[in-house]
Amino acid sequence: MKSHKTALYILLIYLAMQLSSVVFMRPFALFMKKRYPTMGKEELVLTINGWYIVISFAVALLLSLIVIAFNRNFWKIFKQKPESIPTSILWGVIGFFLVFVGQWIGGIIEHSLGITQASENTANLTTIADAAPVAILALAIIGPILEEFVFRRVIFGSLIQTTNFFIAALISSLVFAVIHFDFTHIIIYAISGFIFAFLYYRTRRIITSIIAHMMLNGFVTAIQLYQEPIVKFLEQHQ
């Protein structure tokens, strides 16, 4: 029962973070305008968004860790013994490639359905990270950790105790896809969420899905930010 309460608190923290901009974005924007009085409007808006993403995610993660600290049994949801740390890390690296392949398959499915445009969510976040590099911390490190806590431990972990893997993984991956508000590419997000759930279930350690998630986000962010230099480098070495 205590673990269910902990899971609920973490979910509420995450939802509060998602809605926090309604209350805090305006005063935060005013503060940033005073701090950067000569910055152009477009750059300032992106900088404000970048810093707000980092701060809100960091606060939410810190609060989640504090809540978890009061419940030592929060991670003990599986009857089977967890894999060793080295094995779990290895599966995390393998998981990155599994998710990469899964997204490629998802892309083929979307293309067959006539979906050809790039992810608007990814493009927006990349634009923010380009203007405010600090946002990379949220995209590649803080965000994946917090999302794995919420979608894999809280949602998947709660469902797996009363259902089976496929039902728990399917529901949690769909919620994971929907919360990104990129409905055009919901298939790709759902596939990624399903694989993350599999990695967590396979090793019984959240560190596995966190590693895969961080590697994926870091890779995508790097490719998006340095797309032009990468293309030029490849053209020069053909």
pLDDT digit string, tens, across residues 114-139:
888 778 888 888 899 988 999 999 99
Contact present, 204 and 83 (Cβ < 8 Å): yes
Mean pLDDT of 206-211: 98
Q: Residue 163 has what pLDDT?
A: 92
Instruction: Assess whether 237 carries a catalytic annotation.
Output: no
Catalytic residue among 83, 110, 147, 228: 147
Annotation says 147 is catalytic = yes
- In this prediction the pTM is 0.92
Confidence class for position 16, pLDDT limits 50, 70, 90: very high
Q: Which range of residues forms the domain containing residue 163?
A: 2-236
DSSP string of 57-85, one letter each residue: HHHHHHHHHHHHHT-TTTT---SSPPPPH
* Mean pLDDT computed over 194-219: 97
Q: What share of the chain is helix, strand, coil (3-state, %, to 5)?
A: 80, 0, 20
Spot the catalytic one: 42, 110, 120, 180: 180
**End-to-end Cα distance, the chain:** 60
Residue 102: exposure state from Cβ atoms within 10 A (0-12, 13-18, ≥19): buried
User: Which pLDDT tens digit goes with each residue over 165-192?
Assistant: 999 999 999 999 999 888 889 999 999 9
pLDDT at 232: 66
Q: Does the pLDDT at position 51 exceed 60?
A: yes
How many domains are contained in the chain?
1
What region, left, alpha or beta, does residue 204 occupy, with left being phi > 0 and alpha being psi -120 to 50 degrees?
left
